[in-house]
Amino acid sequence: MAEILKLTYGIFPKTEKLRVRIGRWQRKILSAKELESLVQEETALFQQLARENGISSFTDPLFNWFDIFRPISLVTGGIELGPLTRYGETNTFYRLPEIRKPLTLEGNPAEYRELSENPPLPLYHVDQGEDQLAFLPGPVTFFHFCGNIAGNSFESFSENLGKLYSELLSKFRFRKFLVFESVPLAGGNLGPFYKSVDPEKTILATTGNLNIKSLESAGKKFHSVATDADKENIKAAAAFSSIPGLSLIDAHNTKLEDPKALTARIDGLGKELGIHKFYVTHSDYLDFLPRQIAEKKLQLIGKVGE
Amino acid sequence: MAEQLFITQEIGSFRKPDYLSKKFHTIEGQKEFYDLARKATVETIDLFEKSGLDNLGVGGEMFRWEMYEHLASNVGGLEFYGMVRSFDNRYYKKGSVVSQITRKNPFHVDELQYVLSQTKGKLKVPITGPYTMMDWSFNEYYRDRRELANAYADAINQEIRELKKVWEKARGSEILEIQIDEPAATTHPDEMDIVTESVNRSFEGISGIEPTIHVCYSVDYRYLYNTLHDLKVKGLNLEYANRDKYSLGTSIEQRPGYADLKAFNEVNQTLGQKKFIGLGVTDVHVDFVEPVGLIKDRIEAAVKLVEDPKLLRINPDCGLRTRSRQIGFDKLKNMVDAVRDLKKSY
């Protein structure tokens, strides 16, 4: 039986208590400091939930991120918030980051700071556990979903973003990072970005068929590449990372997967492809689900391989 | 002829008064709910009339909390596991389809009956569309997305038939305007055939109605325009102001939010019967009240692009429920004033 590591990442759905408090903060009934204190408490509860369920690696649940670009946009010079925009093929909206100038980090994102259109910083809530990852929207995704007012090429933008992230990560103590690409890599040159963000410390969570040219361009093997679990993808992920990842849990459907069936499937794939260790994760971040279903999905990830 | 130009209309929802919104979920379905929803409807119709709107919709949808949730709570086959985020700290109840979709209760019959009893004005009934209902539901039951969209379409078709009966009792042979709200319509470009099929199926076999479609915040309306040969609607009520600038001017360069009407016009010119555009001229997500001059420039730019002013109706981008009632009113008033000014030149 292959060894199975369990991974969760990205914005996790909030409890009703937190939603209500954020509403109060928006109406100025609750102070930003009081909100931040609750975000810390809820984050600690999430970390406990993840560890109790045997999740090997997880990012901050990003309870203070209004969307996957917003807080980074707000601490970065050169980006302005544009209109509310539909996020891909979902019924979720984000404020378009409009790239107007070269990106520069403004202030220390690890410290408490009040923001005008997002709950307060810090960017990540870290308790020094080795199982914690930094969450970074990847260059392909950021470029795809931004308003490129400055007219950057993908290469120049991603080089700039990589440097920004490198500086940003220096303010925290993460051993590994999760780079989230919610759109397929599609042949883009990842080299300029991964000059500054070490692929060997990176779990690349993406979607669709893996593009070999893009993976090669990173220059080094990734720690992990996780995507849709078909054989060709798994072979590519195994070739370009130390531990291939399988995105087996549907983040866009409430139907609960059967951990026994998933275990049998992974076992079969491991034997057939000669792979002895996998990450198992979800197909997208879990904020598209109601909280109670997201918790059940987390629990069932924990049961895979048990 | 002049009075047919630039019909002003609301898209649907308007901010509920606090006395209704604060109690909505705790009293829904009870006598108190109906008393308050009726009171709010009367007040909103009055406000719309004061703004000068030509089409009063259904008085701001005071009987409905939210476009998805209202319809979802009146169909069988759905389970609710909790709220799902839409943006920032805004949430909606997203149902999971666990068995066959059925029309459990009428969706909007009580609302229409009441509105008809309160006004002789021009009305338009918005109904959340089958594709959006499908896209915003988790599908645990149907084989695929097409099958689920068509199941919703059948339930909506039953609803429209019943609305039509209510309408005929009050208004005889006058045409009933039905606006199918499909904000999700262009979110999966490879599924435009499902959008077309399910929207058409919602109206199938029903005469004496003017079917329209409302879409907003699309990443690319051209997907929608390209369905116009097959989509059996008379017009498209769309959001544009959100993507436009605040500075004045009527050229395409000065009005980037409206530039893709050129693509609409190219398709429209090939149709035997041309469709109209319900032109979004005020942004419903900001408190900034667009001045009359800016709205006039937006309409004039659109006239140049669609070539025939009779093909334009004028509306906000979307329902105004996210703005205060005062700001909503101010936006509608400026919209109407802009149209009144413009009509003098046509």
Would you list the domain boundaries of chain B?
2-65+107-128+144-343
Tell if the CB–CB gap between B136 and A91 is shorter than 8 Å. yes
Contacts of B217 in chain A (CB under 8 A): 84-86, 93
How high is the pLDDT of residue A86?
85
Using one digit for the tens of pLDDT, what is the confidence trace for B154-188? Answer: 999 999 999 999 999 999 999 999 999 999 999 99
- Is the pLDDT confidence value at A39 over 90? yes
Q: Which residue of B has its CA nearest to A289?
A: B84
Asked whether this complex has an ipTM greater than 0.95, the answer is no
Burial of A28: CB neighbours in 10 Å, binned 0-12, 13-18, 19+: exposed
Q: What's the mean pLDDT in B83-104? A: 96
- Is the pLDDT confidence value at A128 over 80? no
Q: pLDDT above 90 covers what percent of chain A?
A: 92
Using one digit for the tens of pLDDT, what is the confidence trace for B300-317? Answer: 999 999 999 999 999 999
Q: For residue A253, give how far its alpha carbon lies from the nearest alpha carbon of chain B (Å).
A: 5
Half-sphere exposure of A156 (CA within 13 A, CB side): 9
The number of angstroms, rounded, from the C-alpha of A262 to the middle of its chain's C-alpha atoms is 23
- Domains along the sequence of chain A with CATH: 3-303 (3.20.20.210)
Token readout for B189 is 């470009």
- Is the pLDDT confidence value at B2 over 70? no
Indicate the pLDDT class of residue B124, thresholds 50, 70 and 90.
very high
Indicate the pLDDT class of residue B346, thresholds 50, 70 and 90.
confident
Contacts of A13 in chain B (CB under 8 A): 82, 84-85
Which residue, A86, B203, A28, is CA-closest to B213?
Answer: B203
- Is the pLDDT confidence value at B1 over 90? no
Q: pLDDT above 90 covers what percent of chain B?
A: 96
- Is the pLDDT confidence value at A127 over 90? no
How high is the pLDDT of residue B241?
97
Using one digit for the tens of pLDDT, what is the confidence trace for A178-189? Answer: 999 999 998 999
How high is the pLDDT of residue B195?
98
Using CB atoms, pick whichever of A86, A254, A293 lies closest to residue B187: A86
Tell if the CB–CB gap between B87 and A67 is shorter than 8 Å. yes
Q: Are A206 and A218 in contact (CB under 8 A)?
A: no
Q: What's the mean pLDDT in B44-67? A: 97
How high is the pLDDT of residue A1?
81
Using CB atoms, pick whichever of B89, B188, B219 lies closest to residue A23: B89
Tell if the CB–CB gap between B83 and A290 is shorter than 8 Å. yes
Contacts of B97 in chain A (CB under 8 A): none
b vs e for A191-206, b when ≥16 Cβ sit within 10 Å of the residue's Cβ? bbbbebbbbebbbbbb
Q: Which residue of A has its CA nearest to B132?
A: A91
Write the single-letter amino acid at B278: G
Q: Which residues pair with B55 in a beta bridge?
A: B9, B122
- Is the pLDDT confidence value at B121 over 70? yes
| Average pLDDT score, chain B | 96
- Is the pLDDT confidence value at B3 over 80? no
- Which residues, numbered 247 to 286 in chain B, qualify as contacts with chain A under a Cβ-Cβ cut-off of 8 Å? 285
CA distance B195 to B232: 11
Q: Which residues contact B26 (CB under 8 A, 6 or more apart)?
A: none
Q: What's the mean pLDDT in A56-72? A: 97
The number of angstroms, rounded, from the C-alpha of A284 to the middle of its chain's C-alpha atoms is 8
CATH number for the segment(s) B2-65+107-128+144-343: 3.20.20.210
